[in-house]
A and B are shown apart, each in its own frame.
Chain A
Amino acid sequence: MVIGGGIAGIQSSLDLAEMGIQVHLVEKLPCIGGKMAQLDKTFPTNDCAI
């Protein structure tokens, strides 16, 4: 089980799922994405965060 659907939680879940392990990703807000989804562009390439 992964608690928190921000960038760390999503990455962790994906890695575990790729290893063939069943993951429950628990997020308290209605959508996953966390703080990073609020960022306009991300450092250092200035690419869109979403």
Chain B
Amino acid sequence: MLDAGRHPKINLLSYCEVEEVSGEVGAFQVKVRKKARYVNEDLCTGCGACVEKCPTTVKDTYNEGLGERTAIYKYFPQGIPSTHCIDAENCRQLGQGKKCGICAKVCQANAIDFEQQDQMLDLEVGAVVLATGYDVFDPSVIPEYAYDRIDNVVTAMEFERLLSASGPTHGHLDRPSELALRAEVAVLEKDLNKVSRQIDRLEEKHGKKTAEFLKEFEAGKAGEDEDFERWATLAEKQTAAEKVLAPLKKREAAAQTAKNLAFIQCVGSRDFRFNRFCSSYCCMHSVKEAMIAHEHDNQTTSSIFCMDLRAVGRGFEEYKLRGGKSSNIKYVRGRVAEITEDEAHNPIVWYESTTSRQVDHETFDLVILATACVPSAGTPKLADLMGVELDQNGFFKTDPFAPLDTTRPGIFVCGCAQGPMDIPESVAQASSAAARAAEVVATVPKAAAGGGE
């Protein structure tokens, strides 16, 4: 990443989208929209002072919505380019028309520019490589897995963020139900503190404790004062809030990290209702996640529910066996029929084991869905722009004997934009696509190619 950001021959156009393509192989003319960041890239040092002071928080897409970020933000801490960006929609000043501008005040580099506009760039290029990747399948359309109803059913990518030391839980396997509980307690505590502060002020003003006042007030001996009605209501509110908060806090204190995990394979893939194809990398992804979870806490046990575990690459089978032996992973052959939930928010997995031929159920702390790899949302639009065809699954169409060539000469494809594949395969394809693109550019006279790739 850093190398790509620094290379003198790479013009890094982040926060940009292609809008128009014309011309033909060797001489494409491309219009690219450079979206306004409202931060001057040349001045921003990436210090993060603006993030500390920004008053608006929104769900963080990088952390799959499990964490929060501010309206001015850096996509992720190690992000390249190391420049911040204002999310205009959620910004108080830009999106809601309120007076704010705190970030501009604290920025020592004077990099904030609320007047910045989108820019259109014209590029002359010889060849195009499509490396637009994939999207994670949304499992909420599968009713039996209850992804949108049960907190402790997460996708593989969400689990990845929970496991990450730089993620929302700092790498501890806190369950989403506990995270929700913590957030609820925090809100209630904030309200309670507000009430308590008001009561404290009244106690000070009238020189007596609330208990003493309430006794007098109820007996009608408190006398007349405009504060008294309010004081009594506040005291009532305080008792009620404390009553609600106590059991929640007890539950919060008793909460434990997830130790018993279930991984469900082929969620949205190899399923005739959604996608018929195999997403290829999810088997090894689940094994890896189970191993990392065990590495983090060696009390962790995992069950992987699969039709068959496809460990087809070099060293994959050994990796799978190593996981089973040293990381407490149990492989269960069978497709999960349903996920339900008990009172303690533990998901219950109902399945038929095809080895024992029994219908069974088991309770887990957390269920991870190995979600399918589907074409990214912008693929049809981009295919239209580029004038290339898509295959039956919605990925860019290629020929088996020319797996990097799209249906239009001079436009190549690599990685998951072509079909589901793992990282080593993506990297190999990327290098191959680079070679194919270089062939085209090298044969075009320099003047025609405009020196651009």
Contacts and interface: CB of A to CB of B under 8 A. Distances in A.
Interface residues of A, number: 46
Main secondary structure of the interface of B (DSSP, over half): mixed
A50 to B, nearest CB: 5
A6 to B, nearest CB: 5
Interface string B99-125: 000000000000000000000000101
A40 B163 contact: yes
Interface string B157-195: 100110111010001000000000000000000000000
Contacts of A3: 18, 128-132, 382
A15 B431 contact: yes
B11 A25 contact: yes
B134 A37 contact: no
Contacts of A2: 128-129, 131, 453
A33 B47 CA distance: 20
Nearest to A42: B423
A15 B7 CA distance: 11
B448 interface: no
Contacts of B9: 16-18, 20-23
A1 B125 contact: yes
B14 A31 contact: yes
B15 A29 contact: yes
Nearest to B14: A27
Contact of B133 (A1, A20, A35, A42): A35
Contact of A23 (B10, B130, B426): B10
Interface in A3-27: 3-27
B249 interface: no
Contact of B15 (A7, A30, A39, A43): A30
Contacts of A38: 62, 64, 76, 157, 160-161
Contacts of B131: 2-6, 8-9, 12
A33 to B, nearest CB: 6
Nearest to A20: B9
Q: Give the top 7 A-B pairs by smallest Cβ distance, nearest first.
A: A8-B415, A31-B79, A9-B131, A11-B430, A15-B434, A4-B131, A17-B9
Contact of B79 (A10, A11, A21, A30): A30
B15 A16 contact: no
A19 B10 CA distance: 11
Given A9-B430, A40-B164, 8 more contacts: A7-B415, A8-B415, A16-B434, A29-B15, A31-B74, A31-B75, A32-B79, A33-B1
B75 A7 contact: no
Nearest to B418: A8
B75 A11 contact: no
A22 to B, nearest CB: 5
B435 A15 contact: yes
Nearest to B385: A3
